[in-house]
Structure 1
């Protein structure tokens, strides 16, 4: 079939929105008509060359939701007409050491991400200009249609609007998982969330859900600090330096229990400031993506050792994305998860991608979403 997609070609630094051809789903695969896709900064990172191991050309996008239109042989988990949110970061194999150790988000299949080809057989279903296209994170949601493995599909209730449900795929599962799984926030903890984008906005809601006694948001943009307050943050600061006195006063010098680093782009120079915000056995969770060649960060090793402070990385919320999406969908249906405060702007069609990312860079949105078709 023919459809449209936003493709990153070798040597280019802009998305090329064009017609592509799409093969039918093979064994274990699903054809999905995308209804909406979120604008995650990781896709902009790809555009800027931040993933040098990725094979180009590649269809971007990994935060998507849509309607199943067809299934390949052997598919049992979904059927045509199902509403699905697409799961990241990788369809887990269920058999490698990571999967058997209850760490499916670290499945060894992740080593194949750079090819962008189908996880089932290593070949392409997406094609353009006479060649094969990869798809970002095995999904390629910057498209009107895509073919994915059935284990990337999570069926959700039709009562959940797909044009906001798409953000559960990455921002939702990552933000909530960083708090619940990686940080392991407990009732009574004080949590600092750095960056009030899609992930940070979800992290604030997760911290409140986990019983945090107070949440402090850090973001240089006044609009985002205001959103943080509506989500449950009791205080907000424009920088890590400004947050230091806020947290010190709130805790009589004991400092925070957790800092969630959820800025659009990571900066190793901020790690010492983040560690200064936590007290004894405090944990800093690094969620934001760093440059591939960034390998230096300065910290006080004495404080790290003598106060038993911790720095922990977080990929995709440290959990199986399918489980995370199911959890969040249930919370939404019970009125305990506010997606309308996370998705602050919608755009129509793939041609709006550049504007959406300009708005993100300007701090004008928490999470932007591209509408691609109707949700019926």
Structure 2
């Protein structure tokens, strides 16, 4: 029986309030309105940004909400006027959507659409309403995607069609973690062959950055983390050296400067810690180092730096979603996964059902995983 045009009852993990475990509840998902799409979610990665939102570390967060922004799924139904997909198409919902019309979208050096909800956290569809209800209460959306649910609804500009041959439990990571780390190396820093790199933080984003450094032909890739359990995987993915700052007698940036004759060519901060961001700056070569900030800090965090860090020649970049214009670039990344050019399976260390989502969060918080994927 077709569900098009009808309310769907399904399960979702709801964040009823900040700093509380998610609760799997039965929710009602309304049909898509004009220029909206309802998706049956197949898989969703658990990202640190979800934990930031759950911990009220993101400004303006609204509760209750359905988190999750790293998903893959199949179009169940479409609203009037939708032309980019049809029911049955395999898709990735976009946490950083693109209207492809605004000044930011058409700019060659930007992928941050003016309609993006990142930083605003309105938590609603473009018409300022929600498609989720539970126990008669309206539930907010999250980052234009909300993937911790069996069904979600997104605006037409927040979706991209992908090859149906793609493994859904892997390509969901393209929705955020993988594209963020990998893309920052290729698109933002533009790492050159034969150069040196330092990657601070070996979680899902950091490991993806390591993969990007290797793909770019970097000759030396130094991974930094206080969790030594991650070092074997980091070396498997491309790290030539791994360092635990707690094992060093000197500040970690001094160790890296000595190892690389003045500092690395490219450094990447993949944690969201402002102290580590400063170390990332100082680990790069003072005359020409490229510093790349990827990690999302607490909303109240601030960083104080000496202007001389940059007056000598360093540059610092920030990037969201690896500077990929997702509508244009994600399908080709998916094809690279299908043809084995990119191994996303190496990043998926744990899989859990929706009922075990809080266990998945614990795996992430305690450093037991690279990426945990929820299979619906």
C-alpha distance 140-27 of structure 1, shift in aligned 2 (>3 A): same
1:69 — aligned with what?
76
Q: Which SS does the other structure have where 2:262 is aligned?
A: coil
2:264 — aligned with what?
256
CA RMSD of aligned residues (A): 1.9
For 1:10-31, what per-residue CA distance to the aligned partner results, in whole angstroms no more than 9, with x for missing partners? 4562212211111111111111
Q: How does 1:173-322 map to 2 (within 5 A)?
A: 173-239=179-245, 241-242=251-252, 244-246=254-256, 248-249=258-259, 251=260, 253-263=261-271, 266-279=272-285, 280-297=287-304, 299-306=305-312, 308-322=313-327
Instruction: Name the count of aligned residue pairs.
Output: 363
Which of 95-104 and 331-340 deviates more? 95-104
Q: Which SS does the other structure have where 2:360 is aligned?
A: helix
Gaps of at least 5 residues in structure 1 are none
C-alpha distance 100-322 of structure 1, shift in aligned 2 (>3 A): closer
1:369 — aligned with what?
373
Q: Which SS does the other structure have where 1:260 is aligned?
A: strand
Q: Which SS does the other structure have where 2:281 is aligned?
A: helix
Q: Which SS does the other structure have where 2:143 is aligned?
A: helix
- Give yes or no for the alignment of 1:51 onto 2:58: yes
Q: How does 1:313-332 map to 2 (within 5 A)?
A: 313-332=318-337
What is the TM-score when the length of structure 2 is the normalising length? 0.91
Residues 202 and 270 in structure 2, CA contact (< 8 A), matched pair in contact too: yes
Residues 196 and 228 in structure 1, CA contact (< 8 A), matched pair in contact too: yes
For 1:248-304, what per-residue CA distance to the aligned partner results, in whole angstroms no more than 9, with x for missing partners? 33x3x13211111112xx22222332222111221211111111111233x343242
- Give yes or no for the alignment of 1:135 onto 2:121: no
2:101 — aligned with what?
95
Distance 1:48 1:355 in 2: 16
Q: Which SS does the other structure have where 1:21 is aligned?
A: strand
Residues 172 and 328 in structure 1, CA contact (< 8 A), matched pair in contact too: no
Gaps of at least 5 residues in structure 2 are 1-7
Distance 1:153 1:100 in 2: 17
2:357 — aligned with what?
353
C-alpha distance 61-215 of structure 1, shift in aligned 2 (>3 A): same
CA apart distance, 1:144: 0.6
Which of 70-79 and 99-108 deviates more? 99-108
Distance 2:275 2:294 in 1: 15
Residues 12 and 27 in structure 2, CA contact (< 8 A), matched pair in contact too: yes
2:4 — aligned with what?
none
2:46 — aligned with what?
39
Counterpart of 1:19 (choices 9, 21, 26) is: 26
CA apart distance, 1:151: 2.9
